[in-house]
Amino acid sequence: MLYMVVEHFRGGDAAPVYARFRERGRLAPDGLRYVASWVTADLRRCYQVMECDDRRLLDEWIAAWSDLVDFEVVPVVTSADAAAAFAPTNDPA
């Protein structure tokens, strides 16, 4: 499952987040995969795509950062998968 994670850096301050990342890494448990991320130009938010089969792994990762970041999590599918869900079938009704 893919998740769009919106990270709101507490107080709009990215410095503590990047300091921890440099010191300890992503802190992702085995089975949670980082896909990609983008940070807003004002460095107050990060949009990150993560992937895992067990939502508890994502929650474990969030717990490791929750003192510095407020999170929004939205399950997502790729555009290709969404389009395929609406593709006409050859199966007669």
Query: For the segment 35-92, what is each residue's pLDDT rounded down to a tens digit?
Result: 999 999 999 999 999 999 999 999 999 999 999 999 999 999 999 999 999 988 766 6
The model carries a pTM of 0.88
Residue 51 resides in a domain? yes
Question: What pLDDT does residue 89 have?
Answer: 79
Residue 17 resides in a domain? yes
Q: Report d(CA 58, CA 51) in Å as an integer.
A: 8
CATH of the domain at 63: 3.30.70.1060
Domain that includes residue 19, residue range: 2-85
Q: Which of the pair, 87 or 10, is modelled with greater confidence?
A: 10
Question: Facing residues of 75 across strands?
Answer: 3
Helix (H) or strand (E) holding 26: none
Residue 92 resides in a domain? no
Residue 6 resides in a domain? yes
Residue 93 resides in a domain? no
Residue 91 resides in a domain? no
* Band of pLDDT at residue 29, cut at 50, 70 and 90: very high
pLDDT average, residue stretch 1-14: 97
Task: Tally the domains of the chain.
Answer: 1
